[in-house]
Amino acid sequence: MTETEAPGADALQEYFDATIARDQRVEPRDWMPEGYRKTLIRQIAQHAHSEIIGMQPEGDWITRAPSLRRKSILFAKVQDEAGHGLYLYSAAETLGADRDDLTERLITGRQKYSSIFNYPTPTFADVGVIGWFVDGAAICNQVPLCRSSYGPYARAMVRVCKEESFHQRQGYELLMTMMSGTEGQRAMVQDAVDRWWWPSLMMFGPPDDNSPNSERSMAWKIKRHSNDELRQRFVDMTVPQAEHLGVTLPDPELRWNEERGRYDFGTPDYAELMRVISGDGPCNAERVTRRRTAHEDGAWVREAAAAHAAKHTARHTGPDRTEAAA
Amino acid sequence: MSETPTPATGSPRGSWPLYEIFVRGKRGLNHVHVGSLRAADDRMALLNARDLYTRRNEGVSIWAVRSTDIAASAPDEKDPFFAPSGDKVYRHPTFYDIPEDVPHI
């Protein structure tokens, strides 16, 4: 749209507000407030980075998984994470974000990713618990995002959610297998549960009374539910699964609240969440360094592919141009 | 997911061009836009599209089209571009009253 035929700013804002109010989707070339665009780019980029960094904690186990079956499953899962990252980077690009710039921001630590991926995975039970807790929490977060007001983000989420269910189920199945094994294996599962439970609850972000961006995101219908509501859903969903599995969730305050019809649970250590988000988690430096190294080591491949494409294009268009010139 | 026609001539750092990907889910269906990706050339776009958008048998055929090659109408729904079809109710079968007892119409 050129300058001259552009309607006034008020009319554009009004049209945007009406689109949100009617629960319709905002599409890439629509006018949108700068705050909406920036919020979305930040959220989608962080989400994309989380998928990409999320390949690392489990990727370490691909070569160490105890059977070909488990290796194949893990490989497919980690491939999915890469795919999810790419869907999301594409969605961010529709808002005018630059792909190289997003990568640059990740490997220089200027853009964040989910705090959960800064925790280590010392045992194979961690692979199962990540699938069960972390992907379970991701599902709680992402299902409502399928109705997010920004079209490309919502559509990416539909695709992601379809695939995420496999991730959660393979994790739970892995744990069921270990729980029916030796005493040592059961202890390994419980240890992983103890280590991942609280960080998983932290994935939903700070509590509502301390989540400055939430209100605006909900007004714009980017987010549909508050952090605390999603955290509660996750707890309610997970407790019966833990009982079935035969593990104990490490929270003495966890109990069924008849009146609310939901579980009461303790407060995660939000100071820890803030520390990990700000870069001081157990594996922050390792994760970012590894991503940066992979990016730098891959530079020659990207250059070679670009050179090949250029040569190929020249071969196909070259002679015509020469003739035309002659 | 680009639905682009953003003037995507590539970033200043010369990254690969953006492609829009269309997948035919099965024989008998149209190709449908599923999203976008970056690739150095057409062949890589198809390979990447296969790995990215058809990991679970979602397609039997893929089109990869450079985003810059797509011509698109203006984004505004109120654009007069679509006005010609707005007031022609007689193009719809429900415009015509036919008695209930006339069969097969």
| pLDDT, position B10 | 39
Residue A6 lies in a domain: no
Q: What backbone phi and psi angles, to 5 degrees, belong to A207?
A: -65, 160
| Inter-chain CB proximity A163 and B56 less than 8 Å | yes
A316 pLDDT exceeds 60? yes
Residue A175 lies in a domain: yes
Residue A7 lies in a domain: no
ipTM of the complex: 0.86
| pLDDT, position B13 | 43
| pLDDT, position B82 | 83
Chain B from 22 to 81: CB within 8 A of any A CB:
35-38, 40-41, 44, 51-52, 55-56, 72, 74-76, 78
| Inter-chain CB proximity A27 and B5 less than 8 Å | no
Percent of chain A's residues with pLDDT above 70: 95
Say how far apart CA A165 and CA A160 lie, in whole Å. Answer: 9
| pLDDT, position A322 | 44
| Inter-chain CB proximity B3 and A156 less than 8 Å | no
Tally of domains in chain A: 1
Residue A308 lies in a domain: no
User: What burial letters (b/e) apply to A168-190, b meaning 16+ CB within 10 Å?
Assistant: bebbbebbbebbeeeeebbebbb
Amino acid at position B41, single letter = D
**A142 Cα to chain B: minimum distance (Å):** 17
| pLDDT, position A6 | 58
Say how far apart CA A119 and CA A134 lie, in whole Å. Answer: 12
Residue A109 lies in a domain: yes
In chain B, the domains with their CATH numbers are 16-70 (3.10.20.520)
B12 pLDDT exceeds 50? no
A25: DSSP letter: P
pTM equals 0.89
B4 pLDDT exceeds 50? no
Say how far apart CA A25 and CA A282 lie, in whole Å. Answer: 40
B3 pLDDT exceeds 60? no
| pLDDT tens, residue by residue, A200-246 | 999 999 999 888 788 889 999 999 999 999 999 999 999 999 999 99
Residue A14 lies in a domain: no
| pLDDT, position A323 | 44
B7 pLDDT exceeds 60? no
Average pLDDT over residues A94-102: 94
DSSP state letters, B11-68: -TT-PPPEEEEEEE-STTS-EEEEEEEE-SSHHHHHHHHHHHH-TTS--SEEEEEEGG
Percent of chain A's residues with pLDDT above 90: 86
Q: Which domain holds residue A254?
A: 26-287
E strand map for A142-294: 255-257, 262-264
| pLDDT, position B73 | 86
| pLDDT, position B11 | 41
| pLDDT, position A317 | 66
Say how far apart CA A309 and CA A294 lie, in whole Å. Answer: 22
Residues from chain A that touch B76, judged by Cβ atoms under 8 A, are 1, 30
| Inter-chain CB proximity B1 and A87 less than 8 Å | yes
**B92 Cα to chain A: minimum distance (Å):** 25
Residue A69 lies in a domain: yes
| pLDDT, position B105 | 85
Q: What mean pLDDT is reported for chain A? A: 92
| pLDDT tens, residue by residue, A25-42 | 999 989 999 999 999 999
| Inter-chain CB proximity B2 and A28 less than 8 Å | yes
Q: Long-range contacts of range A294-299, CB-CB < 8 Å, 24 or more positions apart?
A: A295/A103, A295/A107
Residues from chain B that touch A313, judged by Cβ atoms under 8 A, are 41
Residues from chain A that touch B52, judged by Cβ atoms under 8 A, are 83, 86-87
Query: Could you tell me if A308 lies within 8 Å of chain B, comparing CB atoms?
Result: yes
Nearest CA in chain A to B54: A83
Residue A299 lies in a domain: no
Burial of B92: CB neighbours in 10 Å, binned 0-12, 13-18, 19+: exposed
A253 pLDDT exceeds 70? yes
Query: Could you tell me if B7 lies within 8 Å of chain A, comparing CB atoms?
Result: no
Can you give the CATH number for the domain in which A117 is found? Answer: 1.20.1260.10
Average pLDDT over residues A102-107: 95
